Amino acid sequence: MTIPADRLTLEQMNSMAKTDFVEQLGGIFEHSPWVAEEVYSRRPFDSVQELHATMLEIARHSEPDRVLALLRAHPDLATRLAVSPLSAAEQQGAGLDRLTPEEFAQLTGLNAAYTAKFRFPFIFAVRGKTKEEILSAIRERVGRSLEEEQEQALLEIGAITRFRLEDLLGAE
């Protein structure tokens, strides 16, 4: 397999200085470079999957306030506010930048209800999904318990970060 010019190898990541490592991986978890900072000391990694699993372990098993901050770092879907370039590209791919005014109002209302209930935004791995699937998921998930939804949000973050790591380093 030929590695695209903008893709790094795992070997390169394993040999980077900490500042470069964090610069490359700091955006994998939305506005949470602390995950990359903490995973650095666990190098070297034998696979992208091992790196990802270690990052998830660090994120999931951090102090509860830090986990909540990680959840809250994610943008509301289809917001017209500033989002990270990675989030913007992912949302565009799902058609969230092309919502009708009615769909936008519906998603905005559902996001508001969800955030009011759970105190963090609706998190959904949108890659490969349609706007209809996303609207259906938020309608269903707003009725869940806090414990169920925190777990689902972490699972979604796992999917989002896997996509991002594979984009950066490739899949093995």
Per-residue pLDDT tens for 104-161?
889 889 999 999 999 999 999 989 998 889 999 999 999 999 999 999 999 999 999 9
Predicted local distance difference test score (pLDDT) of residue 104 = 84
DSSP reduced 3-state for 22: helix
Contacts of 129 (CB under 8 A, 6+ apart): 94
Residue predicted with more confidence, 66 or 98: 66
Under the banding of pLDDT at 50, 70 and 90, the label for residue 81 is very low
Across residues 47-76, what is the average pLDDT?
95
Lowest mean pLDDT among 75-89, 96-110, 119-133: 75-89
Both tokens assigned to 63? 């102090």
Buried b or exposed e, range 83-117, using 16+ CB within 10 angstroms: beebbeebbeebbbeebeeebeebbbebbeebeee
- Choice among 31, 52, 61, 74 that is catalytic: 74
Q: What is the pLDDT of residues 1-58, one digit of tens each?
A: 344 456 899 999 999 999 999 999 999 999 999 999 999 999 999 999 999 999 999 9
Q: What's the pTM?
A: 0.85
Does 61 participate in catalysis according to the annotation? no
Predicted local distance difference test score (pLDDT) of residue 40 = 98
What is the rounded distance in angstroms from the CA atom of residue 145 to the CA atom of residue 170? 36
Read off φ and ψ for residue 14, nearest 5 degrees.
Answer: -65, -25
Predicted local distance difference test score (pLDDT) of residue 171 = 78
Buried b or exposed e, range 156-170, using 16+ CB within 10 angstroms: bbbebbbbbbebbbe
What is the rounded distance in angstroms from the CA atom of residue 135 to the CA atom of residue 138? 5
Under the banding of pLDDT at 50, 70 and 90, the label for residue 78 is low
